[in-house]
Amino acid sequence: MAEIRPEKKNRLTLYIIVALLMGISLGFILNKNYINEENDHIANADAKIELLNSQINATTDSIVYKKLEAEKKTIVTQRSAAITARDKKVEPFTLMADVFLRLIKMIVAPLVLCTLVVGVAKLGDINTVGRIGGKTLLWFISASLLSLLLGLILVNLFKPGTAMHLPLPESTDRVVTNTGFSLKDFLYHMFPSSAFDAMARNEILQIVVFAVFFGIATAAIGEHGKIVIKAFDAIAHVILKVTGYVMNFAPVAVFGAMTAVIAKQGLGILKTYSLFIGEFYIGLGLLWAFLIMAGLVIVGKRVINLIKHLREPVLLAFSTSSSEAAFPKTMEELEKFGCKDKIVSFVLPLGYSFNLDGSMMYMTFASLFIAQSYNIHLPLGTQLSMLFVLMVTSKGIAGVPRASLVVIAGTLATFNIPEAGLALLIGIDPLLDMGRSATNVIGNSIATAVVSRWENALDAETPSDQ
């Protein structure tokens, strides 16, 4: 993966925060002065519609019923006209976010294909690393499922998106049905009839299936496969560069998205954001606790000393919003802790491609938050299907700057949830990215220590561990 300069990420994060504050300020001004008339019309219409609904439900007179229904239809039409007028006024700001979202969607398919082919092809050599690769993969899958499932449970418990009450975008002509996917529909949706068709339509799950087959086959043909791996790796680096260019537009998108949201909803909506951030960090705290407890079971009490060793890399990852920036220091501290260098050099780099626990928990949390914001009901079966999709797709582009937004964009499209909901997260993503990055360092370090213990490759406790 391309090196991420901490100072560059810090600068982008600063720009995003400044854009966030500017968007909130301008949105507040517009809410009070520019579109206040439309907002008042919408609020009054909502109150009248609620009153008419109660009267309609209470009446038994057919004439009165028809009269109330006609009156309701008129008010609904007036409300729609007010919403259209309001949207027209803030359209320049929504365009800023929409263009950014289109750029994000532009890189989804090629990024997933190239990075996952390279990752699977390298992992496909698992026979040569034998039991170490198997044990590492077992831990990664277990930790990934824990992270995703914990995010799913917490977002259903907290329901942070229900307070948003956002209307579905007009372009969304269908939503996820209450029955979820049937097995037949799921299998048809999973396996592509054409890899090129899947790429053209950004069908992430189908791309993943093709990439897995392609990666395994690439590893199986030996020397000739190395040429393919090198080529895809080079293409992946090009796409990573494109991703960096796209992310430079993030401050503009943040400014536009926040201006539009605050102008329409008012400052009251910020309460929902603060709840979302607080609840997500509660989730990260619980994830840390579970990972440390799992480490205690296998490594023993020394896992507490491991956390002490990781103070500097965790702080670096948190302050730069980049777990990659902390990679060299993390490797150094793991070797000081007593992990053999051959285990560290295998497990830790692999973890940065396949085991980003904080990012994966965020993906379920954020995807379901967006669904809740649009009042889209997702039954348990559909949520578990989403968890499986995130489980697989997160393995393809982990380590990419702000890759979570890319994965979430693809997942929302797969389950027909409006991708416009990503605009809700762009502004607060830097604050969330800090916690995700620190958690990724913790998760991969514990994984390395656990595999070292399983392989009897963990040195005895030294005085520095006391």
Report which residue type is found at 29: I
pLDDT reported for residue 127: 56
- State the helix-helix crossing angle for 341-354 and 131-158, rounded to 10 degrees: 40
Query: CA–CA separation, 395 vs 144, rounded Å?
Result: 9
In a domain, 85, yes or no: yes
pLDDT reported for residue 39: 78
Q: Which residues pair with 252 in a beta bridge?
A: none
pLDDT tens by residue, 238-289: 887 887 788 788 788 878 878 887 888 777 767 777 888 899 999 999 999 9
Query: Which residue is associated with the tokens 């400052």?
Result: 267
Same domain, 338 and 302: yes
Same domain, 81 and 102: no
Query: CA–CA separation, 132 vs 299, rounded Å?
Result: 16
In a domain, 7, yes or no: no
Q: What are phi and psi of 65, to 5 degrees?
A: -60, -45
Query: Which residue is associated with the tokens 């949207």?
Result: 87
Q: Work out how many domains the chain is built from and give that number.
A: 2
pLDDT reported for residue 15: 81
In a domain, 40, yes or no: yes
Same domain, 249 and 393: yes
- Report the candidate in 277, 279, 287 with the shortest Cα–Cα distance to residue 424: 277
C-alpha gyration radius of the chain: 24
In a domain, 124, yes or no: yes
How many angstroms from the chain centroid is the CA of residue 74? 41
Same domain, 141 and 257: yes
User: pLDDT of the chain along its 466 residues, tens only?
Assistant: 444 455 555 577 678 778 888 988 898 888 888 888 887 887 888 788 878 877 887 777 788 888 888 888 888 888 888 888 888 888 888 888 788 878 877 877 787 788 777 766 765 555 544 567 788 888 988 998 999 999 999 999 988 888 776 766 654 443 333 334 455 665 666 788 888 888 887 776 678 778 878 887 888 888 888 888 889 888 878 887 887 788 788 788 878 878 887 888 777 767 777 888 899 999 999 999 999 999 999 999 999 999 998 988 888 778 666 676 677 788 888 989 999 877 887 778 777 767 888 888 898 888 899 988 888 888 888 888 888 888 776 654 444 555 677 778 778 877 888 877 787 787 677 678 778 888 999 999 999 999 999 988 888 765 555 5
Structural domain span for residue 40: 36-89
Same domain, 73 and 118: no
Query: CA–CA separation, 376 vs 190, rounded Å?
Result: 22
In a domain, 18, yes or no: no
Contacting residues for 433 by C-beta, under 8 A, at least 6 apart? 13, 321, 402, 404
pTM tops 0.75, yes or no: no
Same domain, 82 and 203: no
Q: Which residue, 50, 69, 89, sits at the end of a domain?
A: 89
pLDDT reported for residue 161: 81
Q: Which residue, 62, 89, 116, sits at the end of a domain?
A: 89
Same domain, 82 and 55: yes
Same domain, 84 and 192: no
Burial class of residue 215 (count of CB atoms within 10 Å of its CB; 0-12, 13-18, 19+)? buried
Same domain, 190 and 308: yes
**Half-sphere exposure (CA, 13 Å, Cβ side) for 459?**
17
Q: What are phi and psi of 115, to 5 degrees?
A: -70, -35
Same domain, 98 and 225: yes
In a domain, 10, yes or no: no
pLDDT reported for residue 173: 40
Same domain, 75 and 111: no
CATH number of 303's domain: 1.10.3860.10
Tokens of 302: 């020394």
In a domain, 300, yes or no: yes
In a domain, 14, yes or no: no
pLDDT reported for residue 178: 38
Same domain, 329 and 219: yes
Q: Which residue, 44, 62, 89, sits at the end of a domain?
A: 89
Burial class of residue 224 (count of CB atoms within 10 Å of its CB; 0-12, 13-18, 19+)? exposed
